[in-house]
Amino acid sequence: MNRADFPVLVNHPKLVYLDSANTTLKPKAVIDAVHTYYADCGANIGRATYRLAEQATSAYDAARHQTAQFIGAAPDEIIFTHSTTYALNQAAWGLRSTLKSGDIILLSDHEHNSNIIVWQQLAAQTGARLAYLSDQPPLKNVKILAFTLASNITGQIFDHSKLISDLKKTGAIIVIDAAQAISKMPLNAAQLGADLLAFSAHKLYAPSGVGVLYANLETQARLTPLVYGSQTFAAISRQNTQLLSNFERFEAGTPNIEGALGLAAALKYLNQISMAKVQAHDQALVTYALSQLQKYRLDQYLVGRPRCQVGVLSLNHPRIHPHDFALFLDNANIAVRAGKACSDILMQKLGLGRGVVRLSFGLYTTKSDIDKFIAGYRKTMERLDG
Ligand SMILES: Cc1ncc(COP(=O)(O)O)c(C=O)c1O
């Protein structure tokens, strides 16, 4: 796909950017959308009645429609937040009143810290118990299952469809962290069995500061807002407020308007390519990377060998520190993530106290980027491990 669409890559022609799981670079179309909002509109949404404000409001509404369409949802199932982390916090704290002592919040063993810490806090405050899939807890007590659709360490895609359908029969709520999966494959929130599904715009070629919480209407009705303020109520008196019954009650205050418009531009850009092609590109890169790692016997350092994965791979060298790799690679203009990558619990489980070197792909990643990474990795090994 086209590096020329991404100004950072045009401005840094030698850059090999292999950190898209951390954040994606933004295409010019997205940067232009943010600029256009500030240069041609600049008004707030939802409040004023002049034309510029109406223009901003209808563009913001259109962004919600496009976001809904992207995950096969209805616009009133989309709650704009600030990030995946914020969306997961809204999900967790919003479900607080549904939990009681002895209930189980079930997580997979592959969660990002943002899909662990908030549930720990919720458990501590409600008397619920946190369990991991490897604990094999009794399903009858599970009230919430929260898991990542694709690992930010191994790239593994998790199919928990059987567990989801078993849990749905008992009324458990299914929360999916789609932070990594969202940019890699066509997704349909309802077909995945999600009651709640979270992702960040910045990992989807769009600006930072915008996140999405998909919430089906049944779950929305059980959800308490995390933040209160303007634009959320039907009636207000000196002592009381009657909140709106729809998604608007979760979006207090002025939102990140430019970010949502940037997200709309990113979705348009992705739809023009088609998510099927985006997925095929990612899968071709995975196949190539695995074959090259094997060719140079670097596959022995791979963390996890998933059968099904997205373009995220991590390596663990027994003697060389991940930060040393990252430093040497950076000197060759190769940007990778090094360390625990916000996955401390998985690292503890795998005994990887120093973390990993992670390479992750985006629309602009080429086979030549992977070749350069492998050459850089081997060179670092030669220098530091004889
Ligand atoms: C699987 C997963 N979940 C959650 C997050 C948190 O995303 P954000 O920092 O955008 O809130 C990340 C970010 O790396 C992630 O990879």
Give me the CATH number covering residue 310.
3.90.1150.10
Asked if 179 and 197 count as a contact pair (C-beta separation under 8 A), the reply is no
> Would you say residue 226 lies in a domain?
yes
Asked about 342 being catalytic, the answer comes back as yes
Instruction: Take atom 16 of ligand 1 and give the residue whose Cα is closest.
Output: 152
Domain-terminating residue out of 221, 237, 272 = 272
Report d(CA 113, CA 342) in Å as an integer: 5
Structural domain that includes position 371: 3-18+274-385
Query: What was the pLDDT predicted at 5?
Result: 98
Judge if 178 and 250 occupy the same domain: yes
Judge if 155 and 182 occupy the same domain: yes
Per-residue buried b or exposed e for 335-363, using 16+ beta carbons within 10 Å of the residue's own CB: bbbbbbbbbbbbbeebebeebbbbbbbbb
Judge if 206 and 282 occupy the same domain: no
Catalytic entry in 16, 164, 320, 342: 342
Judge if 318 and 329 occupy the same domain: yes
Q: Is 197 exposed, middle or buried (0-12, 13-18, 19+ CB in 10 A)?
A: buried
Judge if 181 and 301 occupy the same domain: no
Distance of CA 268 to the CA centre of its chain: 18
Domain-terminating residue out of 249, 272, 295 = 272
Report d(CA 88, CA 213) in Å as an integer: 8
Judge if 176 and 324 occupy the same domain: no
Report d(CA 324, CA 330) in Å as an integer: 10
Query: What was the pLDDT predicted at 131?
Result: 97
Q: Is 192 exposed, middle or buried (0-12, 13-18, 19+ CB in 10 A)?
A: buried
Judge if 162 and 296 occupy the same domain: no
> Would you say residue 23 lies in a domain?
no
Judge if 229 and 245 occupy the same domain: yes
Place of tokens 């850059």: 15
Query: What was the pLDDT predicted at 320?
Result: 96
Judge if 145 and 8 occupy the same domain: no
Ligand 1, CB within 6 Å, residue ranges: 83-85, 112, 114-115, 148, 152, 177, 179-180, 200, 202, 342
Walking along the chain (386 residues) 10 residues at a time, the average pLDDT comes out as 93 98 98 98 90 96 98 98 98 97 97 98 97 94 98 98 97 98 98 98 98 98 97 96 97 97 98 98 98 98 96 97 97 96 94 96 98 98 90
Report d(CA 191, CA 267) in Å as an integer: 20
Asked if 8 and 15 count as a contact pair (C-beta separation under 8 A), the reply is yes
How many independent structural domains does the chain possess? 2
Query: What was the pLDDT predicted at 356?
Result: 97
